[in-house]
Structure 1
Amino acid sequence: MCYFSFKTIAIKVSIVLPFKNAVPYLKECIDSIRIQNHTDWQLIAVDDHSRDDSKAIIESYQDPRIHVIQNEGNGILQALQTAQKYIKGDYVTRMDADDIMPLYKLRTLLEVISAKKGGVIATGTVKYFGEQEISEGYQSYEAWLNKTADQQSFYKRIYRECVVASPNWMMRKEDFDDMQGFSKLTYPEDYDMVFHWRKAGFMIKSCHQLTHLWREHPDRTSRNSEIYQQESFFKLKLGYFLEEYNKKELFLIGTEKKGVLIAKMLQEEKVPFRWFAQDPGLIGQKKRDVVLENIFTLPPEGICILSIYPKKKQRNALKDFVRERGYDIGETAHFF
């Protein structure tokens, strides 16, 4: 914990906020930033060609800390890249136009980073909210994200899902510059950024407090854009996975939709693999011209892709099995 007073030491935080047609949510978002108990911040709001009054809403605040600029390209990633040259703060974070910052978010994340000398990404826990009941899938992802933060198991779980919510991190500007900021990222950019952090050797550290309120609604970009659908995530993470384990024998476990998608991508990359099934009725049959093998014949050495994520009881049994075969979850066996 950092014990100096943020009231007496000015540390400017640059907040990057892409927005597009966000009128229903934007005022609540901006208000949550303006009432932060850390007040030395710069908001770079990037208009991604809105067709509503979003820009007018932000400009109406007439707050000198708020800067509205136009996206030089199209989409969230190019909006982030457009904002990069306007960042003046000592620390960098981002925000989504439909979300809300808890009152203490900036200060809490600053305390996490300030306790370390460098190479630290600060994050915390998240909570979904919305006008309608949050779906079981989003509730499950929230619980998984928060467990990952509580256990500090970010890189061990990196191939399962994006381990840090896109608007729920903060880092030093010098570290941000060292990894060339947003300029080298591809879609899905939030997931790619985590892989860049790992490659740079940065540690992700949680404050173990709620630092982001994530709004769920039907118009969310992640719900409606192809670049945030499952195949895009799989293509991204499989690329990093093959880069990391390119000289290891590869074993794929699971024959349902995700397993078939991974098999397809491996074949497209001409990567050899063996495919294992749990269902006795499938053993010996072919999928995508690959003979399915009995999971109980899984060799003890190699790298496993677990393309299934069953309910807790079955998941624990699968974990126990692969461990008994000599694998370490998060090291030599990864849930996808």
Structure 2
Amino acid sequence: MTPLISVLLPVRNAADHLPQALESLLAQTFADFEILAVDDASDDGGLTLAVLEEYAGRDARIRAIAAGRLGIAGALNLAAQRSRGRYLARMDADDACEPERLRLQAEHLEASPLTDVVGCRVRFGGDPAVSAGYARHVGWINTLESHEAMALGAFRDAPLAHPSVMFRASAFARLGGYRQGPYPEDYELWLRWLNAGARFAKLPQTLLTWNDPPGRLSRTDPRYSLEAFHALKAGYLAGWLAANNPHHPEVIVVGAGRVTRRRAEHLCSHGVRIRAYLDIDPRKIGQVHQGRPVLHHRDVPPPGEAFVVSYVSTPGAAEHVAAFLNSRGYRAGRAYIQAG
């Protein structure tokens, strides 16, 4: 019998924590699913594959697939190609989901035919004292509750926790699967799908624990670096600005520091022109970089005369910038966008 849900689970050298992930899936209150677990050429002496095969021998819903070195994007695409479900759920080997996760997400997709992707709130599974930045990201991602908030938030960072999502197999076929490149595969997918008009949703329940082990790809792989994020988002942001900025291709950028300027410069390679920078540091105000003056933030033009892109990213700074621009009559998505 064809299952309703196919869980895409790429694994590599995951023998230590894989049992917890599998047990959390097998404990689901909704049983009509299959797990396509792709061993992406683990080199741990067969330990990961042995765990997969042991579980597959205990439960026929688990399909262990031994693959060559594909990378996470290739492993996910292989799992999707072999899947049979109407809905595709993501899961990582170092995370764990709550028993109601698959049922609640499938029910949402059943009841919301226009929704392509549904996520959920997630719980940070690390030490916030050691991984403060990651903990802040989890807190921020949980605040993005609507499609509109996620669509605008996507230019700051990925608006969904990748292992928390479920999407329609038809959307995956229509919008395209994962791409391998010098960027995070999930972030590229979200930006591309949003650009193509996909609709996102997020359940208010916390249904996944998003763990933070030392070997997590986001910590070890250069494709997940901040520079890779900014290089990737620039093309999609430039396209969004072309459609939504009445002053296109001209923008004013918040943040005049060297790192911020370098990240904003990616936009220029896509035809965007930076008119000026805004800053609050008196040492920067009055400087000129490549013909672009640094203005005091209080000198921002009235709304209707400029479009602002904020690249500030220090903790709390984005919220401060949003509050300031809102107080000046600017509105997110109409007169400014945050990309830091």
Q: TM-score range by the shorter chain?
A: 0.7 to 0.9
Within the candidate set 292, 300, 304, 2:308 is matched to: 304
Distance 2:49 2:307 in 1: 49
Within the candidate set 31, 35, 54, 1:60 is matched to: 54
Distance 1:38 1:185 in 2: 35
**2:335 is the alignment partner of 1:332:** yes
Distance 2:325 2:331 in 1: 8
Q: Tell me by how many angstroms 1:104 deviates.
A: 1.1
Q: Tell me by how many angstroms 1:82 deviates.
A: 2.1
Could you tell me whether the CA contact under 8 Å between 2:6 and 2:85 is conserved in 1? yes
Give secondary structure in 2 for the equivalent of 1:329: coil
Could you tell me whether the CA contact under 8 Å between 1:254 and 1:276 is conserved in 2? yes
Could you tell me whether the CA contact under 8 Å between 1:14 and 1:88 is conserved in 2? yes
Q: Which consecutive aligned stretches of 4+ in structure 1 deviate over 6 angstroms post-superposition?
A: none
Instruction: Return 67-76 or 86-95, whichever deviates more.
Output: 67-76
Give secondary structure in 1 for the equivalent of 2:60: coil
Could you tell me whether the CA contact under 8 Å between 1:119 and 1:202 is conserved in 2? yes
**2:138 is the alignment partner of 1:156:** no
Could you tell me whether the CA contact under 8 Å between 1:13 and 1:40 is conserved in 2? yes
**2:225 is the alignment partner of 1:229:** yes
CA deviation profile, 1:100-150 (whole Å, cap 9, x unmatched): 111111001111111112433211100111478552222211111111137
Distance 2:74 2:19 in 1: 23
Match of 1:3 in 2: none
Distance 1:152 1:250 in 2: 22
Instruction: Return 300-309 or 314-323, whichever deviates more.
Output: 314-323
Q: Tell me by how many angstroms 1:248 deviates.
A: 3.2
The 5 Å alignment of 1:157-236 reads: 157-182=153-178, 187-236=183-232
**2:255 is the alignment partner of 1:254:** yes
Give secondary structure in 1 for the equivalent of 2:218: helix
Unaligned runs of 5+ in 2: 243-247
Give secondary structure in 2 for the equivalent of 1:50: coil
Please give the TM-score of this superposition, normalised by the length of structure 2: 0.87
Q: Tell me by how many angstroms 1:198 deviates.
A: 1.5
Give secondary structure in 2 for the equivalent of 1:93: strand
Within the candidate set 295, 298, 301, 2:297 is matched to: 295
Distance 1:86 1:100 in 2: 23
Q: Tell me by how many angstroms 1:318 deviates.
A: 2.6
Match of 2:245 in 1: none
Unaligned runs of 5+ in 1: 1-8
Q: Tell me by how many angstroms 1:32 deviates.
A: 1.0
Instruction: Return 57-66 or 224-233, whichever deviates more.
Output: 57-66
Distance 1:54 1:288 in 2: 53
Distance 2:13 2:229 in 1: 25
Q: Tell me by how many angstroms 1:323 deviates.
A: 2.8
Distance 2:226 2:208 in 1: 24
Q: Tell me by how many angstroms 1:207 deviates.
A: 1.9
Distance 1:75 1:64 in 2: 26
CA deviation profile, 1:301-331 (whole Å, cap 9, x unmatched): 333221114554x655532432344421244
Instruction: Return 323-332 or 117-126, whichever deviates more.
Output: 323-332
Could you tell me whether the CA contact under 8 Å between 2:39 and 2:66 is conserved in 1? yes
Instruction: Return 174-183 or 154-163, whichever deviates more.
Output: 174-183
Give secondary structure in 1 for the equivalent of 2:16: helix
Distance 1:14 1:267 in 2: 41
* Letter aligned with residue 249 of structure 2: K
Change in CA separation of 1:37 and 1:133 when aligned onto 2, cut-off 3 Å: farther
The 5 Å alignment of 1:69-218 reads: 69-130=65-126, 135-149=131-145, 153-182=149-178, 187-218=183-214
Distance 1:311 1:97 in 2: 30
Within the candidate set 8, 31, 34, 2:26 is matched to: 34
Distance 1:47 1:327 in 2: 49
Instruction: Return 274-283 or 177-186, whichever deviates more.
Output: 177-186
